[in-house]
Amino acid sequence: MSALYDQIGASYEPVKLLPIVRYGERHTLGRLLADVRARNVLDIPCGTGFYARECMRLGARQVVGVDVSTEMISVARGMAEQDQYGIEYQVHDALRLPLLGKFDMSIAIWLFNYASNEYDLRTMFERITENLTDDGFIIGVTMDSSYRDGLDSRKYGVSLKFLEAVEGGRKWSCTLHPSGGDITFETFMLDKKCYERAAAAAGLSIEWIPIEISQDGIDAFATGFWQGAIDNPLMIAFRATRN
């Protein structure tokens, strides 16, 4: 996976302008990150640092961004120098994440969908939780396991192709369609019960939060444009807190 994202690098940034990301993911996270002010934040995987910079803009005290891709981190560091936010970036694999400190919260946007099984899910939750304060929590976005094949999702900026059933869920080929060219990778939709058990093993409870389309997004497109994504959601957010 690191090799794929090393190739993608800065070309990943336009993904944030895809309709489902701009008006769904970013809008929903805007609400969930409202209490980031004065908090220490761990962003994993940070990619090119989009949400790390957003956290600083919203008043976070400190942000450490982590990604498995050296190229993504290189791009993020370059953007951080331009923004002068003082964000620290490090290269680590989430499955082998070391102790980097004690953070008030972690944002894990498109991390857990790369777990191919419940064991890896549990390991990711455990490694992140070890880096949280006693009242720390995780905000995440992942694939929605309730998704049913057949949605015409290309208009939202993403296409999915079913590959195979795996233990606890399904494996898909996902293609994003940003302005710079298509990006294709493999992703997993593991059942919500898998997430809940994995989180519980790390001492966490999960609250599932539907992705909400912003009013700007509704106004920008024809009536009914978003109905498919609402009835058959591709993604879902969650908040994981200590038991």
Confidence at 207, pLDDT banded by 50, 70, 90: very high
Distance of alpha carbon 146 from alpha carbon 171, whole angstroms: 13
Confidence at 6, pLDDT banded by 50, 70, 90: low
Where helices occur in the chain by DSSP H, the ranges are: 2-8, 19-20, 26-32, 50-57, 70-83, 118-129, 192-201, 215-220, 227-231
Contact 131, 101 (CB under 8 A): yes
**Percent of all residues in the chain with a pLDDT value above 90, rounded to a whole number:** 86
pLDDT of residue 11: 65
Token digits of residue 172: 């898909």
pLDDT of residue 85: 84
Homologous superfamily assigned to 2-145+190-242: Vaccinia Virus protein VP39 (3.40.50.150)
When pLDDT is averaged across residues 164-172 and rounded to a whole number, the result is 98
Average pLDDT, the chain: 94
Picking from 3-12, 71-80, 137-146, 214-223, which range would have the lowest pLDDT averaged per residue?
3-12
User: Whole-model pTM above 0.75?
Assistant: yes
The side-by-side arrangement of strands in the sheet containing 158-166 is 158-166, 169-176, 183-190
Taken in order 210, 216, 217, 221, the sign of the CA dihedral is positive
pLDDT of residue 3: 53
Report the SS3 class of residue 160. Answer: strand
pLDDT of residue 5: 58
Spell out the domain ranges in the chain.
Answer: 2-145+190-242
Where is 42: in which H helix or E strand?
strand 40-43
Buried b (16+ CB within 10 A) or exposed e, 10-48: eebbbbbebbbbbbbbbbbbeebbeebeebbbbbbbbbb
Token digits of residue 63: 């942000």
Q: Closest Cα partner for 198 from 136, 135, 134, 111?
A: 111
